[in-house]
Structure 1
Amino acid sequence: MKSEKNIIPAVLPLKKREETQNRWLFHRLNTLLPTLMEKHDVNMWIVVGREYNEDPVLKSLYPASIDSSRRLTILVFYLDSGKHLRRWVLHPNPNFEPFYERVWNPEECDQWECLRRLVDEHNPDNIALNYSSTFAVADGLSHSHFQHLSMLLDDHSHKFTSAQHVIVDWLSIRTSKELVAYPSIAELGRTIAEEALSRAVIHPGITTTEDVVDWIRQRVLDEGMETSFYPTVDLQRKGSDMDRLEGEIIRFGDIVHLDFGIRYLGLTTDTQQLAYVLYPGEVEAPEGLQSAFETALRFEDIITEEMKIGRTGNEVFYRAMKKAREEEIEAMLYSHPIGNHCHEAGALIGLYDVQGDIPIRGDLPLTANSCYAMEFNIKQYIPEWNQIIPIYLEEPVAFMQNRLEYMSKRQTSFYLI
């Protein structure tokens, strides 16, 4: 009997998606960006875009009809003395309006000369540029363009400063309009993940882990979306020396682990879900596996309790791991922000390969209206398997009204295949 596809939340047609993203962008530019520039004491922010070598932050600043910088695009943000943000674009494309005011007349001067005029006219106290040794998304200004700006604005170059703090907040903080929609995006991804971990896709003894990856990628493409990263499907198996088997045929008694996310409406998701493949006659996973899943949920609760606005990523990490040790939970914690990017800028809470203090990125505080992939694993002895196995989980969460909330239905037990 052929299995039906899961009914997933409605995916908007392209035009509606663009209208939605443009509304969000206009709202962000009008409400969020002025606040961030004031918060970080940035008077002027210059972003230079070059076709085929785009600054990574530009995608979050361009309206839907602008797909590239087309040779050269320069955006200038200026916070005047009245805390009013002026937004200028040095490019002839009319589709930049009403998001930006077009101030360059090609018949009068070139773009660089226009930029020089703007800087001279407004004489900002500081000029933020996109360079950073810490945050990749804030390091998009090319070396040649930095040199050109240094020569062009030679008598202002002493005012240059990194725009990294504005960029980190711009990318990691979501507005109220986005937070209303983000849970439905997360739920859309979770629904596809649940379908992938079912008999609609997996036939024990026949289906391989690679088959499931291929199915997911095609399913997401068929819905008119894209994955936020290349999905991973692997196995935990009784008697195996490896805890993440890949490229294997899925068998009865296996735990199937999926790491997967989607990109939709400019926002990404990242989740890890687990299924158990029942033996013929079995109706539930072995008790030892269920106990291990319950332990993972307990550690998930601990992380939730410790993720507080204002605490740094390192503080959350150490507090959560201390509680885990007190409860004799063997755990690893490596959670990260999500947003425009799957691994978004913002406070890191551990790294998979660094279970300790994360300099700079771990020292950032958790901020209101930010979203996270709560990612971790625990290890526990399974009597029925006579071995220790890991339980990998990851759930999208958000600070909504200063309270940490799951953005999609939380997985509380194994999916059963």
Structure 2
Amino acid sequence: MWCRIRYALALGCLALLQGSNASADATKSPQYQALPSLREQASLLDGWTAERKALIPGILSKYNVDAWLMSQREYAEDTVFWALKSFTQFSARRRTTQLFLANATNGAPSAYSWIDNTPLVWSELKAVLQDQQPRSIALNTHSELAFSGGLHAGELNAIEAALGLEWTDKFVLEPMIAVELVATMVDSRLDWYRKMMETAWAIIDEAFSSRVIHPGVTTAQDVEWWMRDKIQALNYTTWFQPSVSILTENDCSMCPSSTGQESTVPRLLTEADFPAHLIQYGDILHCDFGVTALGLNTDTQHLAYVLQPGQPETEIPDSVLTGLQKANRLQDITRHHMKIGMTGNEILKNIRAQMKDEEIQGKIYCHATGEFGHSAGTVIGMTNLQDEVPFLGDLPLLKNTYYSIELYAEHYVPEKNMTVLFPQEEDVYWSEKSQSWEWVYGRQSQYLFVHSASKDQHMAAEIEL
């Protein structure tokens, strides 16, 4: 009983927040943000990359490593290459080799780069090593962490053959160097990241409206492709196909890998394998959506409710409102437990304990974002791993990065006679001023509503489709 009382109090506190600060997020009117010209983008991105490269000697010293060596061939790039390249580089060329030093001596530079396809690369590299005499040289050879394991096996063989035992004996594996370098988002990126997030919100807002959705006519797939076209029209791109699902369907609309049919012949699935998922009045809609630009990626999940003809927004079922409130409560719990320096698994354990205490059913699966959609950094749960995540969950939570707080809460909806999963996902950044994780743009605390179109609009939509 005390657990139920505490949960009721928690929701009550959440309602108070929604009446003050949190409601501002729901009442925002996001606008599309135009990207600068490609030349301006080049200046922005190269500036951000220079800021991040300047951090490398400090990162090496933090992990007690003297040098960091990366090498790759064209189209076989190390994962970290994409965080270090210039805007006008589209791939590595020939053999691209990079060396970074923690404490360069004799007035030498702290960074070196070679683009060549002759043995000159190795002779010049050995000359630098001979001059600087690093005691340890880190390579990206981790077997489980993609951001720390990008050195191709063939390139490792080439390095070892070229440098010999004098230097290969000094090779070490320190996975946090690559993880921290890729994870670090310099402060100057935040303004544009916030604009990108506003654009993502604006696309979702328009997609989940009567301008796009006509109940009984429009399918979830129609909305997905409208969103994809909108991204392209704005000169953005994306890192995954937009996903739109109907949470109140009984045919597993949130399970796109399931066709409901068994087959013994492996084959590629196409859109024809999946049901149409026609949007109807009273549906709860969900989207998983992100945009890509300026070397950054967003990740957002929002909910919408399809109103009956003439139904006011105030008549949305209480059970549907409570589902979103539970998800918002889980977001607050998750942010509270995201302590810098703790591992993702430790954070997950603390979140799950509070969920049990407040009798909230759901799942937590948070990840870093930014340079990549699922970027470098610890993960806090996965949908199939709610006790701990091997390797990735053992990494410490770093500041100066962006995180997607991704989760869902379960709640029974009597109007549908089913337990519905209420997903939410919003990106956060670490604020030195508040010493906490803050929303990049905001968080959804009220539903988007699809209002009924007029009869004439409905007929026009049928003709168009």
TM-score, length-normalised on structure 2?
0.81
Return the offset for 1:112.
2.2
What letter corresponds to residue 43 of structure 2 in structure 1? E
Is the Cα–Cα contact under 8 Å of residues 70 and 139 in structure 2 kept in the other structure?
A: yes
- Structure 1 residue corresponding to 2:446, chosen from 391, 398, 413: 413
- SS at 1:309's partner residue? coil
Alignment of 1:339-358 (within 5 A): 339-358=370-389
% identical aligned pairs: 32
Residue type of the alignment partner of 2:304: A
Residues of 2 paired with 1:115 and 1:230: CA distance?
43
Change in Cα spacing, 1:73 to 1:378, as seen in structure 2 (3 Å) is same
**Which of 223, 236, 252 is matched with 2:234 structurally?**
223
**Residue in 2 aligned with 1:391?**
422
Relative to structure 1, the CA distance from residue 322 to residue 208 in structure 2 (aligned partners, 3 Å threshold; closer, same or farther) is same
Relative to structure 1, the CA distance from residue 148 to residue 315 in structure 2 (aligned partners, 3 Å threshold; closer, same or farther) is same
User: What secondary structure is seen at the aligned counterpart in 2 of 1:389?
Assistant: strand
1:182 pairs with 2:193 = yes
Say yes or no: does 1:19 pair with 2:19.
no
- Aligned twin of 2:6: none
Q: What are the ranges of 5 or more consecutive residues in structure 1 without an aligned counterpart?
A: 93-103
1:311 to 333, 336, 342: 342
Matched, 1:64 2:87: yes
C-alpha deviation, 1:10, in angstroms? 2.6
Query: 1:43 maps to which residue?
Result: 66
Give deviations 1:216-243, integer Å, cap 9, x for gaps: 11111111121122221111126x2536
Distance 2:135 2:325 in 1: 55
Render the CA deviation track for 1:119-143: whole Å, top value 9, x for unaligned. 2222211111121112112222111
Distance 1:314 1:223, change over 3 A: same
The equivalent residue for 1:209 is 220
Match of 1:199, SS state, is coil
* Residues 315-351 of structure 1 deviation map (CA, whole Å, 9 limit, x = unaligned): 2111111111111111110100112111111111001
Question: Is the contact between residue 33 and residue 170 of structure 1 (CA under 8 Å) also seen in structure 2?
Answer: yes
For residue 393 of structure 2, what is the aligned residue in structure 1? 362
Partner of residue 10, structure 1: 34
Compared with structure 1, are the counterparts of its residues 69 and 188 closer, same or farther at alpha carbon in structure 2 (3 Å cutoff)?
A: same
- 1:271 corresponding residue in structure 2: 300
| Mapped pair 1:170 → 2:193 | no
Asked if 1:130 corresponds to 2:144, the answer is no
Distance between the aligned counterparts of 1:187 and 1:316, measured in 2?
29
1:211-268 per-residue CA deviation (whole Å, 9 max, x = no partner) reads: 1111111111111121122221111126x25362764111111111100111111011
Match in the other structure for 1:52:
75
Do the aligned partners of 1:396 and 1:406 also contact (CA within 8 Å) in 2?
yes
Measure how far apart 1:163 and its partner are.
4.7
Whole-angstrom CA distance in 1 between matches of 2:41 and 2:321: 41
Q: Which residue of 2 aligns with 1:111?
A: 121
Q: CA deviation at 1:116?
A: 2.2
Equivalent residue runs for 1:84-99 within 5 Å:
86-91=110-115
Note if 1:338 corresponds to 2:355: no
Between the aligned partners of 2:239 and 2:92, the Cα distance in structure 1 is 23
CA distance in 2, matches of 1:315, 1:245: 29
Select the residue among 78, 85, 90 that pairs with 2:101: 78
Task: Kindly tell me the number of residue pairs found equivalent between the two proteins.
Answer: 397
Q: Cα gap change, 1:279/1:332 in structure 2, threshold over 3 Å: closer, same or farther?
A: same
Contact 1:243-1:389 within 8 A present in 2 as well? no
For residues 140 and 129 of structure 2, the distance between their equivalents in structure 1, rounded to whole angstroms, comes to 17
- After superposition, the Cα gap between the structure-2 partners of 1:231 and 1:85, relative to the gap in structure 1 and judged at 3 Å, is farther
Q: Helix, strand or coil: the match of 1:225? A: coil
Instruction: Identify unmatched segments of 5+ residues in structure 2.
Output: 1-28, 257-275, 451-465
Distance (Å, rounded) in 2 between the aligned partners of 1:187 and 1:224:
15
**Matched position secondary structure for 1:121:** helix
Match of 2:244, SS state, is strand
Q: Which stretch shows the higher mean deviation, 241-250 or 325-334?
A: 241-250
Pair 1:233-2:244 in alignment: yes
* Greater mean deviation of Cα atoms: 271-280 or 113-122: 113-122
CA distance in 2, matches of 1:21, 1:111: 28
Asked whether the equivalents of residues 288 and 300 of structure 2 are also in contact (C-alpha less than 8 Å), the reply is yes
Query: Is the alpha carbon distance of 1:272 and 1:243 closer, same or farther for their aligned partners in structure 2, counting shifts above 3 Å?
Result: same
112-121 or 242-251, larger mean C-alpha shift:
242-251
Alignment equivalent of 1:378, drawn from 390, 409, 414: 409
Aligned mates of 2:405, 2:394 — CA distance in 1: 18
RMSD: 2.1
More displaced stretch, 288-297 vs 278-287: 278-287
Q: Which amino acid aligns with 1:29?
A: K
> Which of 47, 52, 56 is residue 28 of structure 1 equivalent to?
52
Q: Distance in 2 between matches of 1:163 and 1:366?
A: 16
CA distance in 2, matches of 1:227, 1:413: 26
1: CA distance between counterparts of 2:82 and 2:255?
Answer: 37
Could you say if the C-alpha distance between residues 206 and 6 of structure 1 is closer, same or farther in structure 2, counting changes exceeding 3 Å? farther
Q: Judge conservation of contact 2:57–2:103 (CA < 8 Å) in 1.
A: no
Q: Which amino acid in the other structure matches residue 444 of structure 2? A: Q
Between the two structures, name the one with larger relative contact order (CA 8 Å, sep ≥ 6): 2
CA contact (8 A) 1:235 1:245 kept: no
Deviations along 1:70-118, one digit per CA (max 9) or x if unpaired, are: 22111111222569861111127xxxxxxxxxxx9x8xx6222222222
User: 1:139 aligned to 2:149?
Assistant: yes
